[in-house]
Structure 1
């Protein structure tokens, strides 16, 4: 399939596909006319990349997942390298959650100090 069809089916722009190709995550073959040609399997790779990006992974983090799929695994997280990346990402998310919980407590304490007895989550229409 050509780049436009892959872009449409994957729900991405052709620019994104070119960028993924530039980063070595997908690869196109060139037709005699110079057009990029993609395999059906590339659709799965792009879907994996998009899912990882949507989950907060960086593009470079997608490499072991893509490599795992290319190696014939049904899931991109089936390989030790992608498991390691997933574990690292979970640790990052946990750290972000701890920071947010701490920030929330600070804001709640400031509110309680400024407005003693103030409900943190007042019913609609009251402050």
Structure 2
């Protein structure tokens, strides 16, 4: 399928799809006319990429973990390494949330 069709199927802009390609996350073939040709499972891969970005991973981490991700988000099956990285990220977000709550309480205390 071509980029326009993939964009329509996945709900991701053509620009984002080209960015995924630049980052090595999505690799289309090139037809003899030079147009990008995506495999039939490209929409699933794009869904996985979106889910991994939304979880806070950067392009480098997604490139490393994408081959072990299976299924559609949010029920993404993953290898142990990806699972551990996401659990670590979740713990860091919990720490950030606690810090933000403390700072908010202090700020509101100044306003009392």
Per-residue Cα deviation, 1:3-51 (whole angstroms, up to 9, x for no partner): 1111111111212111111211111011111111101211111111112
Higher RCO (CA < 8 A, seq sep 6+):
2
Partner of 2:44: 44
1:51-105, Cα deviation, whole Å (9 max, x unpaired): 2223333233322442113xxx336442022112202211221121121111122
Shift >4 Å, 4+ stretches = none
Match of 2:106 in 1: 106
Please give the residue correspondences for 1:68-107 in structure 2 after superposition, counting only pairs within 5 Å.
68-69=68-69, 73-74=70-71, 76-107=76-107
Q: What aligned pairs does 1:56-67 form with structure 2 within 5 A after superposition? A: 56-67=56-67
Q: C-alpha distance in 2, partners of 1:63/1:83?
A: 15
Which protein is bigger by CA-based radius of gyration? 1
Aligned length: 109
Stretches of structure 1 that go unaligned for 5 or more consecutive residues are 113-127
Tell me how far apart the structure 2 counterparts of residues 65 and 45 of structure 1 sit (CA, whole Å): 12
Q: Which runs of 5+ in 2 are unaligned?
A: none
TM-score, normalising length: structure 1: 0.74
Q: So what's the TM-score if we normalise by structure 2?
A: 0.83
